[in-house]
Structure 1
């Protein structure tokens, strides 16, 4: 295919992907009144009464301070959820665009990378959602007595989205280390030698990336990442070992069939107990 044909195909793939995203956004817009909004507010509603506006009356409402605030929040949530819901479809379009230029092994690695990255992102987002209520309770509780806490919908939704994205994207870093090892950029020796620095930088990274910046959320992010990095180091060890075995096997294909194998021509020293069996 020519360059123009490649660009035309890319345009078509992007157009189809946008249609899938719009369909997912429309579905999420409808879903907002049928459980999605309650799902997002659930961590806030689980807080004690004194930490919620109108909590003593059993409510957990969020404030909207401008005319277009409610519409923009709903559109923002619908767009993000639509991208997530339609991810298998637009990722398939991207995969169809890249597949003709890949080898069989590269296709296999690509499928494993997409599946692994999706799983890790979902795992990180689920962990962030599970720790959201505890982080909110810790942060809002620092305000002390005599303070009326009334969160706006913009602030709360932005906080939730940033936390989910921070956890989800952070869990992709160990997978990137494995991918770099597969292409020969990072070796197991380099990763193993830098293990202490990797763990230290992981904790430091979690301290800066977490939106709450409290010790609990930082540890919730850092501990699983350390485990994932250790798994990545062990996977790199297995990959390097298999690569070395394949290299050793492939090296024999360059040897001519008539070439003799190297032999040690120097005489070997006989053991003392075996000298009696040697004929004189």
Structure 2
């Protein structure tokens, strides 16, 4: 393909992706109240507050935008694959397609785990408040917290896929992983803090623990496979 044809293909993929996201967001708007109510109740709260006349509108709009991203994601991934696949060899396609599927599946598992464990996270975090303090759940802050937690655990659940892929490609080895074990632990701690910016000090710890567990489990699997 010529440069012009590549640019046309990229333009087509971008347009389809943007249209898919827009349509998904519009449809998601009609379900945003239901989803918002679910998230509030899932957090163990009876209600949440907004602090300006436009607060409720923008809160629903943010929910619709995020839902639109999730719903349109398969189409976006397909368009990305359609754009890059002509330049790949057959053996590369056999590796990349399962990798994309595993990456997507593990990310969604991470998001699902975050929502499943959300009531526990909220109880633990709110238990640190002294008796003379009351929690005022502002809808926008609550949504930002849930989103940050979901994305953080989505990324955490990518750890096995990333390490396993690098191990299978012989870019890393079990010996190298264990040799640099201390550096990995420090790096994972820094990553947990970067993934949860602006949140309370306990949330990075909640993210850090499964990061270490996944690291240890994947290193063990690589060792058992002889890598």
The normalised TM-score by structure 2 is 0.86
- Measured against aligned partners, the alpha-carbon deviations of 1:242-274 in whole angstroms (never above 9, x if no partner) come to xxxxxxxxxxxxxxxxxxxxxxxxxxxxxxxxx
Deviation per CA, 1:178-236, whole angstroms, max 9, x where unpaired? 3333444323432243345434543554356443432xx55543343334323433554
* Runs of 4+ displaced beyond 6 Å: none
Q: 5+ unaligned residues in a row in structure 2: which ranges?
A: none
The alpha carbon displacement at 1:172 in A equals: 1.8
1:124-175 superposed Cα distances (whole Å, 9 cap, x missing partner) = 1122222222222232333322333222111111111111111112322332
Contact 1:174 1:225 in 2 (8 A): no
RMSD (Å) for aligned C-alpha atoms: 2.5
Q: 2:201 aligns with which of 197, 210, 213?
A: 213
Whether 1:68 and 2:67 are equivalent positions in the alignment is: no
CA contact (8 A) 1:135 1:212 kept: no
Q: How many residues align?
A: 225
Distance (Å, rounded) in 2 between the aligned partners of 1:104 and 1:240: 27
Q: Which structure 2 residues correspond to residues 41-80 of structure 1 after superposition, within 5 A?
A: 41-44=40-43, 46-47=44-45, 60-80=46-66
Question: Which of the numbers 101, 115, 124 marks the counterpart of 2:101?
Answer: 115
C-alpha deviation, 1:31, in angstroms: 1.2
Residues 199 and 226 of structure 1 are in contact (CA less than 8 Å); yes or no, is this contact kept in structure 2?
yes
2:120 is aligned with 1:134: yes
Unaligned runs of 5+ residues in structure 1 are 48-59, 242-280
Aligned pair partner of 2:167 in 159, 181, 197: 181
Question: What are the superposed Cα offsets for residues 87-130 of structure 1, whole Å, 9 maximum, x if unpaired?
Answer: 11110110111111111221121111111111211121122222
